[in-house]
């Protein structure tokens, strides 16, 4: 925990002084030179803000994360999504979709199993989906290919 706090403090100080960030502990995504915007990098998606999230996908990839509180594998994957989103400096938006509360969004994408990750760019599904959870390395590889 102390190391994580030190890394975060160093990154914030570097940003405030306009210096380059030190290398992240986990591998950087392919083409990681994206600049972080003022938009949030973690969003809970609902019917009310779905269109706003789709507009965000015009400037950086959005990862729709279909999840549920009762889903064991969703909960196993969650800390890694948080870790990788932080390590990637918000270069992609982690858009969490509660499958129980947002059935219409679930049906729109034809999601049949949890967890499901969908890459959205320019308001449309782009690339592959990741269904299920095969461990942190498989997740990192999928995110690197956004």
Whether 88 maps to a domain, the answer reads: yes
Whether 61 maps to a domain, the answer reads: yes
Q: What's the rounded Cα separation, in Å, for the pair 45 and 53? A: 7
Angle, vertex CA 33, rays to CA 41 and CA 95, nearest 5? 20
Which percentage of the chain shows pLDDT scores above 90? 71
Whether 29 maps to a domain, the answer reads: no
The pLDDT of residue 146 is above 90 = no
**pLDDT for 49-102, tens place per residue?**
999 999 999 999 999 999 999 999 999 999 999 999 999 999 999 999 999 999
- What's the CATH code of the domain at 71? 3.40.30.10
Total domains present in the chain: 1
Angle, vertex CA 139, rays to CA 135 and CA 53, nearest 5? 135
Task: For residue 58, give its domain range.
Answer: 39-144
């Amino acid at each position: 925990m102390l190391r994580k706090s030190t890394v975060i403090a160093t990154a914030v100080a570097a940003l405030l002084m306009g210096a380059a960030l030190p290398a992240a502990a986990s591998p950087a995504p392919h083409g990681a030179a994206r600049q972080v915007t003022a938009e949030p990098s973690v969003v809970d998606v609902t019917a009310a803000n779905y269109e706003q999230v789709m507009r965000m996908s015009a400037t950086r990839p959005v990862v729709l994360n279909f999840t549920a509180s009762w889903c064991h594998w969703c909960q196993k994957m969650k800390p890694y999504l948080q870790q990788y989103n932080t390590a990637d400096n918000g270069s992609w938006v982690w858009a969490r979709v509660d499958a129980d509360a947002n059935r219409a969004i679930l049906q729109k994408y034809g999601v049949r199993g949890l967890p499901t990750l969908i890459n959205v760019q320019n308001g449309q599904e782009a690339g592959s989906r990741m269904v299920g959870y095969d461990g942190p390395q498989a997740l990192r590889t999928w995110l690197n290919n956004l």
